[in-house]
Each structure stands twice: as C-alpha cells, then as structure tokens.
Amino acid sequence: MSKPLYIFDLDETLIGADSSVLWHQFLVQKGIITDPTFLAEDARLMALYAAGKLDMPEYLHFSMAPLASLTQAQVDSLVDECVEKCIMPTVFPQATQLLEQLKQDGITRILISATVSFIVKKVAAKLGMEHAMGIDMLVEDDHYSANILGVASYREGKVIRLESWLAEQTEIFTDIYFYTDSINDLPLCLFSQYPHVVNPCPQLTNYAQEKKWPQLSWGR
C-alpha cells in the first residue's frame, strides 16, 4: 500500500532564520570565530544563496575553516548548545503544529537541508522527525573536514539524495509533499506531487503563482 511522505526544508521554512547563520553567530559569541570580517562575508555568501547562485563547495571551505582545530566531539557539543539556545527558539509555531499532527497520524517526515548534517540531524531530533539529510562532511583524524562526503543535499542534489533514500525503503511512497521557501529547492518542488511554499522568496513566488502551488505565510 502506498503512503504519503512529507518533506521539509529547514532554513526559513520550519524556522524563521538560517541555521548556518545562527551557528556562525554562536561561534563568534563563543570566541571560536575571531575574524572580525567573518559575519560580513557570511552575509555576502548567504545573499548569493538566496539568489540561487552560491558555490556550495566554496561556501563550505569558508564555513568549516573555524572548526579545523576542534575534534568531532567538541563540535558536536557546541552544536547541541547552539541548537537548544539559538535555533529551536526560531521554529515557527505553524511548523510545530503540522509536524505534531503528522506524527500523530503516523506519517513519515523527512528534513532535507543544504545545511551541514551535523546541525540538521540534531535539529530534526529536537523536532521529533525520524529522518534527516544534510550535507555530510568527511571526517578526517577525528575532525570535520571541508570536503563533502557523497552528494550534497543542495539544489538537484536534494532530489538525488531523496531518490537514493526512497530506493532503500520497503514502503512505497507515491504522494510526496514538500515544503520550502527557496528557489534552490525548485528541483525538489518539481519532483514532488504536492509542493507547498512557505514565506517564499520572490523567484519561488513566481513559480508558485504560475503552477498554482499553495502559498503559506508562517510567523511567530
């Protein structure tokens, strides 16, 4: 028997912020990032992301550099604190309500984000989501490197990762619902049967209007 599958983007969709930006701000507060120009450069790169023009490997080399001297366990401990203090307070109430309803109904939910997986998986756990995919970073000598492991869950890569996941499942999912705000997720919107746009960027708004996709306005 076929079952519905609900897929969610993270940043600016389930939460009213970008988790990578919150992470970097947290690392500045912790004194891990000491470069006074780092957050300005981060903002410049995030603007490219919003426009659908970000070079993801270049961004990850920038983003991962401050963590080079930290062990995997040290990074994971910092992530736990950041998720609890900085990310979870930005979750939209509408997202919490929908995820809880889907859980009660026994519907499978997946979080797929272009944020690094060591953040995405911890956020998913806090949200009660049983499946999560982010950009996996290669671990070398107990340190997270700036090298991507496998396919990055970014743009078309989200579809590739999802297809691989679907191929591994014993259940058959034919009705795929997807929630996102970003033009970067257009490939997954077109792959899913029921795309929903949440506070969409201007480019995605145009597609949603043309395709008559549901447009949701979530806020706190």
- Number of domain units in the chain: 1
- Residue-wise pLDDT for 157-204, tens only, equals 999 999 999 999 999 998 999 999 999 999 999 999 999 999 999 999
Question: Which long-range contacts does 155-162 make (Cβ < 8 Å, 24+ apart)?
Answer: 155/52, 155/114, 155/184, 155/185, 155/187, 156/187, 158/112, 158/114, 158/133, 158/185, 158/187, 158/188, 159/187, 159/188, 159/191, 161/112, 161/133, 162/7, 162/110, 162/112, 162/133, 162/188, 162/191
Whether 9 is catalytic: yes
pLDDT digits (tens, 9 = 90+) for 64-114: 999 999 999 999 999 999 999 999 999 999 999 999 999 999 999 999 999
**Domain assignment of residue 99, given as a range:** 2-216
> 0.75 exceeded by the pTM?
yes
**Cα–Cα distance between 177 and 105 in angstroms, integer?**
15
DSSP strand pairing (2-8 vs 108-116) = parallel
The CATH code of the domain that includes 173 is 3.40.50.1000
Q: Active site includes 11?
A: yes
Question: In this structure, what DSSP letter does residue 152 have?
Answer: -
From the list 9, 18, 181, 185, the catalytic residue is: 9
Q: Which of 97, 162, 108 is nearest to 134 (CA)?
A: 162
